[in-house]
C-alpha cells in the first residue's frame, strides 16, 4: 500500500498556487489544495483542480514527431533536435534572427523558461519570445 501526497506548484499560470498531487500505488488519484501554503491558502481555480489531467491523457505526445510528406511520423530525439537546429540556422542565415519567434510553455519550470529566454536572445539573437503564463 503506497500512498503519497506530493507538494507541487500549479503549472497553468504565474500565480503559483500550491497543491498536493495524490498517488495510490504510484497512480494519480486526486489533487488536494495546500491549506498551509501562504500563496493560495487552500484554494484553487478550475485549472489547479484539474492540473493532472494531461499526465495520463491518451493524446499526450510521448515521442518527437516530424512532418514528412504531410504526415507526422515518430522520430528519435537526436533526429528531431538535429532537424530543428539545421532549420533554425538556415532561417537565421537567410532571413535574420528577427524572423524567428519562440513560444514557450507554462508546463516548463521557471528555470527551463529562463534557459529558453537565454537561447532566444544569446543563441538565436531574437527578442521574439512569449509564454502563455505571463499573468
Partner 1 sequence: MIAAIRKAVAERLDSRDGVVALRRRSGGVAPYLFQKGDDLSEMEISPKYPLMTLVSRLHKAFPAIRLAVVARGCDERAYVEMVKRNQIDPTRLEIIGFACTAEEAQACFCGEPSPKRLVAGTPPAPGPLNPLVAKYDSLPLEERRSFWKKQFSKCIKCYGCRNICPECFCEACAMEDMAWVEPGLLAPPFPTFHLIRAMHMASRCVACRECELTCPAHIPLTVLYDLMRRDIANLLGYIPGADLEAQPPLSVSLEQAPLRK
CA 8 to CA 34: how far, in whole Å?
A: 9
Grid coordinates of 61? 505526445
- Closest to partner 1 by CB, 35 vs 87, is 35
Least CB distance to partner 1 at residue 101 (A): 30
The helix/strand/coil state of 86 is helix
Least CB distance to partner 1 at residue 127 (A): 34
Work out whether strand 18-24 and strand 27-33 pair parallel, antiparallel, or are unpaired: antiparallel
- Closest to partner 1 by CB, 1 vs 61, is 1
Cβ 103 vs Cβ 131: under 8 Å: yes
Residue written as grid cell 508546463: 107
- Closest to partner 1 by CB, 26 vs 70, is 26
Which residues of the shown chain bind partner 1 in the complex (CB under 8 A)? 1, 3, 5, 7, 18, 20, 22, 24-25, 29-37, 42-46, 48-49
Least CB distance to partner 1 at residue 36 (A): 5
Amino acid at each position: 500500500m503506497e500512498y503519497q501526497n506530493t507538494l507541487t506548484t500549479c503549472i497553468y499560470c504565474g500565480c503559483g498556487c500550491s497543491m498536493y498531487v495524490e498517488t495510490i500505488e504510484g497512480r494519480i488519484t486526486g489533487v488536494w489544495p495546500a491549506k498551509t501554503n501562504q500563496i493560495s491558502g487552500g484554494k484553487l481555480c478550475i485549472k489547479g483542480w484539474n492540473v493532472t489531467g494531461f499526465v495520463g491523457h491518451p493524446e499526450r505526445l510521448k515521442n518527437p514527431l516530424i512532418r514528412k510528406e504531410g504526415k507526422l511520423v515518430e522520430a528519435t530525439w537526436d533526429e528531431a533536435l538535429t532537424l530543428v537546429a539545421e532549420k533554425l540556422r538556415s532561417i537565421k542565415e537567410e532571413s535574420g534572427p528577427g524572423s524567428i519567434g519562440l513560444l514557450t510553455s507554462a508546463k516548463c519550470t521557471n528555470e527551463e523558461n529562463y534557459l529558453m529566454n537565454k537561447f532566444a536572445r544569446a543563441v538565436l539573437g531574437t527578442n521574439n519570445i512569449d509564454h502563455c503564463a505571463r499573468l
